[in-house]
Amino acid sequence: MTIIVTGGAGFIGSNFIYYMLDKHEDYRIICVDKLTYAGNLSTLERALNDERFRFVKADICDRTAVNKLFEEEKPDIVVNFAAESHVDRSIENPDIFLQTNIIGTAVLMDACRKYGIKRFHQVSTDEVYGDLPLDRPDLFFTEETPIHTSSPYSSSKASADLLVQAYNRTYGLPITISRCSNNYGPYHFPEKLIPLMIANALNDKPLPVYGKGENVRDWLYVEDHCKAIDLIIHNGKDGEVYNIGGHNEKTNIEIVKIICKELSKPESLITYVKDRAGHDLRYAIDPAKIHKELGWLPETKFEDGIKKTIKWYLENRSWWQEIISGEYQNYYEKMYGNR
């Protein structure tokens, strides 16, 4: 089995590559990544020493490069993680989100049509469903919840989902889509809530909480997401959407306080800053379908997952310190300087 994993030098893609190499001894994995600011080759260090693994630096929007790779590798499955993934950046500059997240997905699917494929899997997000009110804890996103997006990021992901479904219906391309809630774990880029708060707390810097910190996210340990995708690409039904989430809702302020406690840092580091424009209030996934049809359940409890994650950031300081010492400094100043 040959699997092309796009965006594998990023957070979830790299965790997926390690999960698959460990689980399936006879699989060959080819990672295609443009190595944007969010992609890091050092993340794939262990994989690069594995003869079952190949890394190709390419942009998924580059049709010539994508076609050449498909011709060489004749993949059985493509799992598309490659994306611009940060909501705040999409508010600053939507254009690259439309390019990579929509056009890039179409280029990959065109190659799948041209060279043949057993399955194209699109890694989507719960953000395509918009948000839920804070005062209705009884409501959850199901696969039937209408698409209703808030940010340029979520709109670009929703557009890609619609294209993927159109390629399935019009051309018969075998596809699946997964829509997962917020992930956390190793190799999470420090612009996102959990790693940003860990890195800032360790550096005794202010912890910038947007608005009142009341927004709710449904956190899932990244390995549980990888397990779900592995199940879907092997056993999921052609044309289907699967929601992935672990009924683990927390407000942002709860998360930040847990991180302070785990690191023995004072809550006085918490600073309330200007809210995100169009900020989604609450995400909450109903994972009943993937549980019923594929037997998936999250295995890592948040209390354990957050401890493991913090331990990873403590033991891998050079990984994130290198990131935050470079171009990230300009990003941080731009986003948080006058907030």
Q: Write the burial class of residue 53 (CB in 10 Å: 0-12 exposed, 13-18 middle, 19+ buried).
A: buried
Which of ligand NAD, ligand DAU, none has residue 276 at its interface (CB below 5 to 8 Å by kind)? ligand DAU
Using CB under 6 A, pick the residue from 10, 75, 152, 186 that binds ligand NAD: 10
In whole angstroms, how close is the CB of 258 to ligand DAU at the nearest point?
A: 13
Which of ligand NAD, ligand DAU, none has residue 123 at its interface (CB below 5 to 8 Å by kind)? ligand NAD
Amino acid identity at 7: G
* 3-state secondary structure at position 125: strand
Using CB under 6 A, pick the residue from 20, 28, 85, 320 that binds ligand NAD: 85
Interatomic CA distance for residues 140 and 283, integer angstroms? 8
Closest to ligand DAU by CB, 2 vs 36, is 36
Transcribe 166-189 into DSSP letters: HHHHHH---EEEEEE--EESTT--
Check residue 282 and report its DSSP letter.
B
Whether residue 153 lies in the annotated active site: yes
Closest to ligand NAD by CB, 35 vs 272, is 35
Q: By CB under 6 A, is residue 189 in contact with ligand NAD?
A: yes
Residue 2, phi then psi, degrees to nearest 5:
-115, 125
Alpha-carbon distances of 227 from 16, 231, 248, rounded to whole Å: 8, 6, 17
The active-site residue, picked from 18, 84, 131, 153, is: 153
Window contacting ligand DAU (CB under 6 A); options: 124-132, 219-227, 296-304, 308-316:
124-132
Half-sphere exposure of 131 (CA within 13 A, CB side): 13
Q: By CB under 6 A, is residue 123 in contact with ligand NAD?
A: yes
Instruction: Tell me which residues are annotated as active site.
Output: 126-127, 153
Q: Under the rule (CB under 6 A), what is the footprint of ligand NAD? A: 6-7, 9-13, 32-36, 38-39, 59-61, 81-85, 100, 104, 123, 125, 157, 180, 182-183, 189
